[in-house]
Amino acid sequence: MKKRNSPTTLRPGGILRWSTAAILAGGLASCDRSSYVATPKDVEMAKLQEQIDTLDAQKLKLMNGEVANNFHIPRVGYYHANARNFFEHPYGFQQEKRYFVDGVWKDQPGPADVAASRPSPEALKKVEAALTEEQKTASGSSSHNSGGGFGMGNALMMYWLLSGNRGMFSPGAGFQQAQRNAGTWQQGVDRGRENVRTYASSNPGYNRVVNQARASGAPVKAGQSVRGGFGSSGSSGSATRSSGGSGFSHGG
């Protein structure tokens, strides 16, 4: 909800004299004309922040064994809650006037609001296979182990989901290995979160770009500009607030 600006009455004998008001107005105007252009580093950090936000927001649900409708897990697919399975296309994906719903093409779109559900045993097998593959890939990739980015966040998410559904599948070597490494993966994600906080606190322009992107629903892109610099220090908290407690894609 937008706050309605209350009018300010200026009186010659009041605290703010016209000359003072004119100076303030000029300063505000010049500040509003300032702009900041997003850098490739901003794009990198915004993506990391979105990934961590989503991981944090979905953690409790995943650990309880549930997945939100249309939630996307890399290497696995998009979750269709009514079908209790993962598929290549998102729920409601439209192509040639047909809609992909619950794993099949239909003439009409499915319900907009679909409750989260527990994946079927078949779906859980897909998750464990993807978890095993993720760990194999990571073992030969220094980027996963450096702790500088999202690290093993994808694997951690899959591990949580499998842990919440232990009675519905037979854990294999991939899950058992993940069980031993989950603590280290969480530390890597926490380092990524701290990197975002540090970057945001020292780059007010980044906060402005992120806030603008959230308002428009579009991702941060290098070269995009945002106007208005006054009060940028105040926006620092809003840009990083959700990364501390609460952005993979999901539409449920």
Tens of pLDDT, residue by residue over 155-168, are 999 999 999 999 89
In a domain, 205, yes or no: yes
In whole angstroms, give the CA distance from residue 160 to residue 198: 28
Question: Are both 76 and 172 inside the same structural domain?
Answer: no
* Residue located via tokens 């579009």: 218
In a domain, 250, yes or no: no
Report yes or no: 127 and 133 within 8 Å, Cβ to Cβ. no
Our CA angle for 87, 88, 93, nearest 5°, is 95
Question: Are both 165 and 238 inside the same structural domain?
Answer: yes
Tokens representing 114 are 């679909």
pLDDT reading at 124 higher than 70 = yes
In whole angstroms, give the CA distance from residue 169 to residue 171: 6
Question: Are both 155 and 125 inside the same structural domain?
Answer: yes
Report yes or no: 42 and 209 within 8 Å, Cβ to Cβ. yes
Question: Are both 139 and 198 inside the same structural domain?
Answer: yes
Q: Which residue range(s) make up the domain with 171?
A: 36-66+118-244
* Residue located via tokens 């450096």: 146
In whole angstroms, give the CA distance from residue 57 to residue 60: 7
Question: Are both 136 and 205 inside the same structural domain?
Answer: yes
Residue 67 is given by DSSP the state B
Report the amino acid identity of residue 240: T
In whole angstroms, give the CA distance from residue 180 to residue 169: 19
Question: Are both 236 and 175 inside the same structural domain?
Answer: yes
In whole angstroms, give the CA distance from residue 15 to residue 219: 44
In whole angstroms, give the CA distance from residue 16 to residue 239: 33
Say how many domains are in the chain. Answer: 2
Question: Are both 49 and 172 inside the same structural domain?
Answer: yes
Tokens representing 26 are 């000029």
How confident is the model over 64-74, as pLDDT tens digits?
Answer: 999 999 999 99
Question: Are both 97 and 129 inside the same structural domain?
Answer: no
User: Would you give the end-to-end CA distance of the chain in angstroms?
Assistant: 23
> What is residue 185's predicted lDDT score, i.e. its pLDDT?
93
What is the residue-averaged pLDDT of the chain?
80
Question: Are both 150 and 196 inside the same structural domain?
Answer: yes
pLDDT reading at 106 higher than 70 = yes
Mean pLDDT confidence for 223-235: 59
Tokens representing 96 are 């040639």
Question: Are both 127 and 161 inside the same structural domain?
Answer: yes
Return the percentage of the chain with pLDDT > 90, whole number. Answer: 61
* Residue located via tokens 């993720």: 134
Mean pLDDT confidence for 101-121: 97
Name which of 189, 197, 202 is nearest 239 in CA terms.
197
- Pairwise pLDDT comparison (33 vs 181), residue with the higher score: 181
Question: Are both 151 and 46 inside the same structural domain?
Answer: yes
In whole angstroms, give the CA distance from residue 66 to residue 118: 5
Q: Which strand (E) or helix (H) includes residue 238?
A: helix 232-240
How confident is the model over 133-160, as pLDDT tens digits?
Answer: 999 988 776 544 443 456 688 999 999 9
In a domain, 108, yes or no: yes
How confident is the model over 23-81, as pLDDT tens digits?
Answer: 444 444 444 457 899 999 999 999 999 989 988 988 999 999 999 999 999 999 999 99
Name which of 144, 141, 150, 226 is nearest 193 in CA terms.
150
Question: Are both 55 and 71 inside the same structural domain?
Answer: no
